[in-house]
Structure 1
Amino acid sequence: MRKRLAIATSKLKSMMNIWKSQSTPLKMRILKSCIFPVATYGCETWTLTKKDVEKIDAFEMKCYRKILRIPWTARRPNQTILQELGMKERQLLKNIKQLKLKYFGHVVRHNYLEKLCLEGAVEGRRGRGRPRRRWTQDISDWLGFSVREASILAQDRDGFRSAVWEATSYKDPP
């Protein structure tokens, strides 16, 4: 995951003449079509930790600051930058969540090797220490269901699609 962000950052730097010369809406379209896909390639298979989420958010804000030509020394809050772009929330992590949840639904609905790996259990004892975060823990955290309940829900495409939309939609803070 971190290598993907490094590659996307180098791509972002190589397009410096575009960030300096074009209008903001055009820059946003270029960002979403050329930079974000490089950063999110293969994101369906990532297991996201808190540190990874922070890195993704930092990369996204770095991109927005490049577009608006705001140096990091300006010490402007992220919310003001998002407001200047006319956005309510960050988009990159939301897109990653949507892609991962859609992939989960696809895997659960079909009888392929991926489903067997997802549902399989390894015999034996686990090693010492804290268990690593699992891929399915992201699914259950985002949807608010257990993996088994999410698997049952995924059989109904429309119901699962609305659950994914609900899990990734913007909610105004109370």
Structure 2
Amino acid sequence: MEISTTKTKSLVVSKEPIRCKLVVEDRPIEQVMRVAYLGVQISSNQDRTREIKEQANKAARISGALGDIVWNNKHMRNQTKVRIYKTIVRPIMTYGIETRADTKVMKNALRTAEMKVLRNVLGLTLRDKRRNEDIRSECGVPDVVRWGRNRRRLWNAHVERMGDGRIAKIVRDGTPGTRRPLGRPPKRWRDSWTSISQEA
């Protein structure tokens, strides 16, 4: 196997920045703080906030491109527009939602991006002063955060059916053997859909 030293990058996952010098054939490997892999942003400090905002921005750009063709089309039913939203826009801003634990900032970003699209579907603006719940009810679309929470439950059931030797199941059931660092712990994936403090 040949390794291209110009294309290869290194990333250290740590709460504090750590310098790790790697050399292959007397050529140093560039260390990065963030890398995109299969559409998911992997950062050294495991902060997913920027990833959510980038996905929301991508969804907003797609929604803007569909504005004159779909959202403002008077000859198209709202149900058809909602199906286009579910098929094209929502998958972009929720990619990888099954495997991450959303924080309050992430939830707000997703809900804001979704409501922008649904208002365009119904031809509304913020000046119309329609409640978000009423707009979702008229469109027949559940809250994107609750939808994502249900997707996590489905993913957990899928992992449960896996064999004990599968990596996904080992990671889900494993517990770290080290002490937890000081400071507030990050939100666990399991707590994002099993905590009684969450919405239904």
Q: TM-score, normalised by structure 2?
A: 0.64
| CA shift digits 1:109-136 (9 cap, x unpaired) | 2121111112222222221111110111
Question: Which consecutive residues of structure 1, in runs of 5 or more, have no partner in the other structure?
Answer: 145-166, 169-174
CA contact (8 A) 2:114 2:144 kept: yes
Which residue, out of 89, 102, 112, partners 1:58? 112
Change (3 A) 1:107 1:84: closer
Structure that is richer in helix per residue: 1
One-letter amino acid of the counterpart of residue 54, structure 1: N
Distance 1:143 1:32, change over 3 A: same
Gaps (5+ residues) in structure 2?
1-51
Assess, with a 3 A threshold, how the Cα gap between structure 1 residues 49 and 131 changes in structure 2: closer, same or farther: same
Q: Where has structure 1 moved over 3 Å in runs of 4 or more?
A: 82-85
Q: Which residue in the other structure is 1:149 paired with?
A: none
**CA distance 1:28–1:142, shift in 2 (3 Å):** farther
Change (3 A) 1:102 1:84: closer
Q: How many residues are aligned here?
A: 144
What is the deviation of 1:83? 4.4
For 2:64, the equivalent position in structure 1 comes to: 13
Structure with higher Rg: it is 2
Q: Does 1:94 align with 2:150?
A: no
Aligned residues of 2:160 and 2:169 also touching (Cα < 8 A): yes
Task: State the AA in 2 paired with 1:75.
Answer: K
- Taking the aligned partners of 1:66 and 1:93, their CA distance within structure 2 comes to 20
Q: Specify whether residues 139 and 90 from structure 1 end up closer, same or farther in structure 2 by C-alpha distance, changes over 3 A only.
A: closer
- 1:72 partnered with 2:126: yes
Residues 140-164 of structure 1 show CA distances to partners (whole Å, capped at 9, x for unaligned) of: 22699xxxxxxxxxxxxxxxxxxxx
> Aligned ranges for residues 161-172 of structure 1 at < 5 Å?
none
**What amino acid sits opposite 2:84 in the alignment?**
I
SS in 1 for 2:195: helix
Measured after TM superposition, the shift of residue 13 of structure 1 is: 0.7
Write 1 or 2 for the structure with the bigger share of strand.
2
- Residue by residue over 1:47-77, the C-alpha shift from the partner in whole angstroms, topping out at 9 and shown as x without a partner, is 1112222222222211110111212233332
Are residue 125 (structure 1) and residue 167 (structure 2) matched? Answer: no
Task: Report the Cα distance in structure 1 between the residues aligned to 2:167 and 2:190, rounded to whole angstroms.
Answer: 16
Match of 2:156 among 84, 87, 104: 104
Separation of aligned partners in 2, 1:131 and 1:120: 17
Q: Check conservation: 2:111, 2:143, Cα contact below 8 A.
A: no
Cα distance between partner residues in 1 of 2:123 and 2:117: 10
Contact 1:107 1:114 in 2 (8 A): yes
- Answer yes or no: is the 8 Å Cα contact 2:136–2:143 preserved in 1: no
Aligned counterparts of 1:55 and 1:29: Cα–Cα separation in 2: 21
Alignment of 1:25-44 (within 5 A): 25-44=79-98
Q: TM-score, normalised by structure 1?
A: 0.72
